Copies of this chain bind each other. A is one copy, B any other.
């Protein structure tokens, strides 16, 4: 999660909403990304989507059952759907996202692959503080 936070800090430096993600497989980081919605002028360019796409290329597979995605913010519905399709084995997120997090929509059952495990709240304060500072500076 420290590495995901570094990605989020890099996003903030570039004027992007500071969310970062890394994918780990066999104990190694195989992909890192941060939000690039502004740079790419593409509202699908969330950290998780970019990290997943990089991970698929790194492993030559469109499924990641043995990989873990670390992301600084609770995934939105789009990214949750992407994690489902990628059959990612484990998802670890930092801060919760009350407005746009997946739990707003899918309260009764998570939308990920049935075998996926999910853990939230890891370094949550640091992940949330970065977002708070970013939005405070915009106002």
Q: Hey, which bits of chain A sit against chain B, CB under 8 A?
A: 37-38, 41-44, 49, 52-53, 56-57, 60-63, 76-82, 84-86, 105-106, 111
Closest to A53 in B: B42
- Picked from B41, B78, B80, the residue with its CB within 8 Å of the CB of A84 is B78
Residue in contact with A61 in the complex, picked from B41, B49, B79, B105, CB distance below 8 Å: B41
Determine if A62 and B42 form an interchain contact, defined as CB atoms under 8 angstroms apart.
yes
| Chain B residues, CB < 8 A from A84 | 77-78
**Please, which residues of chain B bring their CB within 8 A of the CB of A78?**
77-82, 84-85
Known: A78-B84, A81-B78. A44 touches B53 (CB 8 A): yes
Query: Does B80 contact A62, Cβ atoms closer than 8 Å?
Result: no
Q: Which residues of B contact A63 (CB under 8 A)?
A: 43
**Chain B residue with the shortest CB-CB distance to A81:** B78
